[in-house]
Amino acid sequence: MAVRLHNVSKIYGDGAARTVALDYVSLEVSPGEVVALMGPSGSGKTTMLNIIAALDRPTSGEVYVMGVDVTKLPESKLEKFRLKNVGYLFQSYNLVSYLTAEQNVALPLMALGVKKELALLRARVLLELVGLEGAARLYPHQMSGGMQQRTALARALAANPPILVLDEPTSNIDLDNASVVLGLIHVVNRLTKTTVFMATHDPDVARVATRVVYMRAGRVYDAVEPPRREFKADMERAAAVYEKLRHVDELIGL
Amino acid sequence: MEHVLLIAAGDFKARVARYVLTALAIGVGVALLVALVAVTDATRDYVERTLYKVYPADIMLYSDSINIPMYLVEELRNNAAVETAEGIILISGATEGRVVSVVGIPLRDVNYFAVDLKEGRLPASGGEAVVEESLGVKPGDILVVKVYSGASGVERTLKVKVVGVMRSFLKGFVGAFRLNLVVVPLDWLQGSIDAGPFVNTVLITVKDKAQVQPLYLALKETYRDAQVYTQQSLLDTVTKVFTALNAVFSVISGAALTAAVITTFAVMSITVRERLREFGLLKAMGISSREILLSVVVEVALIAAVAGVAGVVTGFLGANVVKDVLLRMGINFDVPIAFRPHYAALGMAASLAVALIGAVSPMYKVARLRPLEVMQLWR
Ligand SMILES: Nc1ncnc2c1ncn2[C@@H]1O[C@H](COP(=O)(O)OP(=O)(O)OP(=O)(O)O)[C@@H](O)[C@H]1O
Ligand SMILES: [Mg+2]
């Protein structure tokens, strides 16, 4: 199992302000699955993603990520764990404003101890993967929202995490960029067997999913397996870039 | 650690204006501190050195009236512990409304007092005098001085011919220290005021500084009418004055440094609050609180270093500039201000302390960050 939630509850506040965001949720996800979390606003999607990404702790229950019960890890160990295992993409505001695109992407690698030059080298190949090879030296404010989100996706992929957690990755960007982001999610999943969790309101986005999970009032309902629509993506180009990445990774020893 | 520096450098560039202002606030406090310490040190040094010129003695015996017989001076010279003993008369007088100090020195020993001649020559016979430049007279002038101290206690009028002018010991930089010396031959002075073979001051140097204290105690015991000072006790008085001066200066620079602490605190608090979102993002990426904190510490240390260096340099140069301004304004504050390594150490330490004290509580906030608490802030 890539991720296993067992009787996970998350309760915010108490008394009149008490909100049950997750209500005894259990879920098992195998490596390589692309899980689309759908459901109305306030149904608990973000809460669930935060808990899977080990950014938040459940009120009760067990959360296994790559075989490790993250509820038992101290905060200091969680930081390193996230760095190696989870790539996170927020709805917006994903980039550090005073760093260039390539620096943003290189940052998690450098935090893993990769030398700056090598980290930047890998960052530039990742930017090529997301089609931004020309934007490496731009600052976030010099990029469109779509470009920013693609840069953020490259950053989420920086340390080659086995799990990607994406909270409404396309809701704030235009259709063209949204389709590029979805294509990337698709090819990354296909080429690297990365497990993907993705919250979305958009039924169209669910096209890249292998599994759709509906949420309502903190509970999950597995949908009937959706027909996997072959996504039109340039697999060849992506495969070529991944070949480059493999060379860089040999240098880095990642 | 490269990524910590990348974060620190990036934020520093993004907020450079406010960080420079913070460094400025700290730098002003440091500059004031260094300037005041440099001025106090220089002044104290100068006064101490000059004091030894005025009283070139380890021990001074002084009596209110001229009643120390010369043969006692002779006897002191024979004392095994004594290197030199010089009997002189030191009385005050007035000339044209100004207070002067008349000093009678044995002619053969005039050089003992390291008189710094500006023009003219030393006195060679009775009635000739060397006077301090502060009196504003020239060689050849006649000076009429009224003195009150004498064996009979009546007023006497001395008429002396100025043959030389000497530089002022203290260059007159503190009004109260203005001595207006009039140096005349001792035997002539004794004759002129009917003092007989007596003096009122004996300046003693010892062979070995360790003998100062025993000799001082012995003299106190022997000459109960006279006051006995050691050079050290005079210096102690000077030190007391400067300790008081230091306290005043400490309050002034303390206030400036406190203002710098408050500025640092305000700037860092605002900055940390502004950066919470960014910190949450960094944490979600896997950057630890410890590393984020470290990047803030690097920035604070950089601010402190810049402020420290700038403060030390401007403080020291500033002290000299103030000195020049005072000199140009006619205030005779001609004291050499020397740079000492410990000013740099003091300035840097003060700067670092101010920056860290000011930043400690905002940094504590950073250290305690939990990613979700932060993320909640931008829901
Ligand atoms: N920090 C918090 N304090 C209190 N209540 C919270 C907090 N975070 C979330 N909630 C509540 O928990 C519930 C689930 O919120 P969550 O953000 O997970 O929903 P969501 O499905 O992501 O919604 P959306 O589609 O609008 O993003 C909501 O009722 C929300 O108000
Ligand atoms: Mg949400």
Residue B99 lies in a domain: yes
| 3-state SS track over B37-104 | HHHHHHHHHHHHHHHHHHCCCCEEEECCCCCEEHHHHHHHHCCCCEEEEEEEEEEEEEECCEEEEEEE
Pairing outcome for strands A34-38 and A211-216? parallel
- Is B252 found in the same domain as B178? no
Query: A116 contacts in B (CB within 8 Å)?
Result: 2, 6
Residues 6+ positions from A219 with CB-CB distance below 8 Å = A23, A24, A25
- Is B18 found in the same domain as B126? no
- Is B169 found in the same domain as B95? yes
- Is B323 found in the same domain as B295? yes
The rounded Å distance from CA A217 to ligand 2 centre is 13
Find out whether the beta carbon of A43 lies less than 6 Å from any atom of ligand 1. Answer: yes
Chain-chain contact of B281 with A99 (C-beta, under 8 angstroms) = no
Task: List the domain range (segments joined by +) for residue A102.
Answer: 30-60+75-252
- Is B275 found in the same domain as B209? no
Number of domains in chain B: 2
* Residue B54 pLDDT level (bands cut at 50, 70, 90): low
A184-209 pLDDT, tens digit per residue, is 898 899 889 999 999 998 877 777 88
The per-residue pLDDT for B335 is 76
Q: Mean pLDDT across chain B, nearest whole number?
A: 84
pLDDT mean over A37-57: 91
Residue A126, domain CATH: 3.40.50.300
pLDDT mean over B351-368: 89
The per-residue pLDDT for B112 is 64
- Is B70 found in the same domain as B32? no
- Is B122 found in the same domain as B18? no
Task: List the domain range (segments joined by +) for residue B179.
Answer: 64-225
Complex ipTM: 0.88
Q: Nearest Cα to B366, choosing from B230, B241, B269, B298?
A: B269
Residue A103 lies in a domain: yes
- Is B340 found in the same domain as B309? yes
The per-residue pLDDT for B171 is 46
The per-residue pLDDT for B331 is 64
Residue B6 lies in a domain: yes
Residue B57 lies in a domain: no
Residue B59 lies in a domain: no
> Torsion over CA of A77, A79, A84 and A88, rounded to 10 degrees?
140
B126-168 pLDDT, tens digit per residue, is 889 999 888 888 999 999 999 876 555 678 889 999 999 987 6
Highest mean pLDDT among A80-94, B162-176, B219-233: A80-94
- Report the alpha-carbon distance of residue B19 to residue B264 in Å, rounded: 9
DSSP run (H or E) holding B376:
helix B371-376
* Nearest atom in ligand 1 to A49's CA: 18
Query: A53 contacts in B (CB within 8 Å)?
Result: 284
Find out whether the beta carbon of A200 lies less than 6 Å from any atom of ligand 1. Answer: no
Chain-chain contact of A84 with B287 (C-beta, under 8 angstroms) = no
DSSP run (H or E) holding B26:
helix B16-54
Contact B50, B170 (CB under 8 A): yes
Domain boundary among B225, B260, B295: B225
Write the residue in B2, B277, B375 that is nearest to A116 by C-beta. B2
Take atom 22 of ligand 1 and give the residue whose Cα is closest: A46
Residue in A8, A12, A200 to alter for ligand 1 test, most ligand atoms within 8 A of Cβ: A12
Number of domains in chain A: 1
Token pair listed for A36: 């689309």
pTM of the predicted protein model: 0.75
Residue A149 lies in a domain: yes
| Residue from B285, B368, B372, B374 whose CB has the most chain A CBs within 10 Å, to mutate | B285
The rounded Å distance from CA A88 to ligand 2 centre is 13
pLDDT at residue B302 above 60? yes
Residue B31 lies in a domain: yes
- Is B189 found in the same domain as B277? no
Q: Nearest Cα to B189, choosing from B290, B341, B66?
A: B66
The per-residue pLDDT for A225 is 66
